[in-house]
A = this chain, B = another copy of it.
Amino acid sequence: MSGPKSRKPLADSVAVHDQVYDAIRQALITGRIAPGVGVSLRSLAAELGVSPMPIRDAVRRLVAERALEINPANKRLSVPSLTAGRLEQLSMARLWVEPELAARAAPHADAALIKRLRELDAAVDEALKLGDVDAYMTANHDFHFALYQRAGAEVLLAMAGGLWLQIGPFMRVVFGRVGADGLVADRHAEAMEALKVQDAEGARRAIAADLSEGMDKMRAAVEAGR
């Protein structure tokens, strides 16, 4: 109304291939698509109700992020299988980059962040109580990345996102074998305490411990499952 020039260059409309990317990514993170199974462009297209074209874009991106695999022999798509070696490398990488992000975010922690984290942690606990695996995975992911985003480290944040995407399928396997209540979220409280006083090293330690415990459980599950 009163706007002299309603500068609205748009570019708002989210591209279809981005929506497709998010959909597949979510399915991968929550483990809805099991490791080892094959997928195809047209089947995904039919399932999501779009043409194969945006699927192609999204899949290309996911392959680059190693969240999907492409068989070099017949060029067919599949979700990467779980191996002990892969898990070990992913664990080590996460254990380096995520605590670093937490430490960098600590100085920028404010009341709004704490509040948001508390809500997400409550959602985590709620999902654990209900045994809702998908909800737990989503809430846990959102908790970590709401924190990491405050680090203002775009490159490291992208690395963490890629690692989480790759390790998502492992998590589902853990839940399938040991049950969701095998994981405790106490470290989240520890992290929030550190953030309240902007204690970077405390946040680093808390997140490192949180990851370490989770990864240990995954490793045990993978070793037991072979």
Residues of chain A having any CB pair with chain B under 8 Å: 9, 11, 15, 56-57, 60-66, 72-75, 85-86, 89-90, 92-93, 96-97, 100, 152-156, 158-159, 166
Contact = CB atoms under 8 A, between A and B. Distances in A.
B166 A75 contact: no
A44 to B, nearest CB: 16
Contact of A11 (B65, B66, B74, B90): B74
Given A9-B74, A60-B61, A64-B65, 13 more contacts: A11-B73, A15-B75, A57-B60, A62-B64, A85-B153, A85-B154, A86-B154, A89-B156, A93-B155, A93-B156, A93-B159, A96-B96, A159-B159
Nearest to A74: B11
Number of copies: 2
A92 to B, nearest CB: 8
A89 B155 contact: yes
A89 B153 contact: yes
A12 to B, nearest CB: 10
Given A61-B63, A63-B61, A64-B61, A86 B155 contact: yes
Contacts of A93: 97, 155-156, 159
B89 A11 contact: no
5 contacts: A61-B61, A61-B64, A64-B64, A89-B156, A93-B159
B11 A72 contact: yes
A66 B158 contact: yes
A85 B57 CA distance: 29
A184 B127 CA distance: 56
Contacts of A73: 9, 11
Nearest to A104: B89
A158 B162 CA distance: 11
A11 B75 CA distance: 8
Contacts of A166: 155
A75 B10 CA distance: 11
Q: Give the 5 A-B residue pairs with the shortest CB-CB distance, closest first.
A: A64-B64, A89-B155, A60-B60, A61-B64, A11-B73
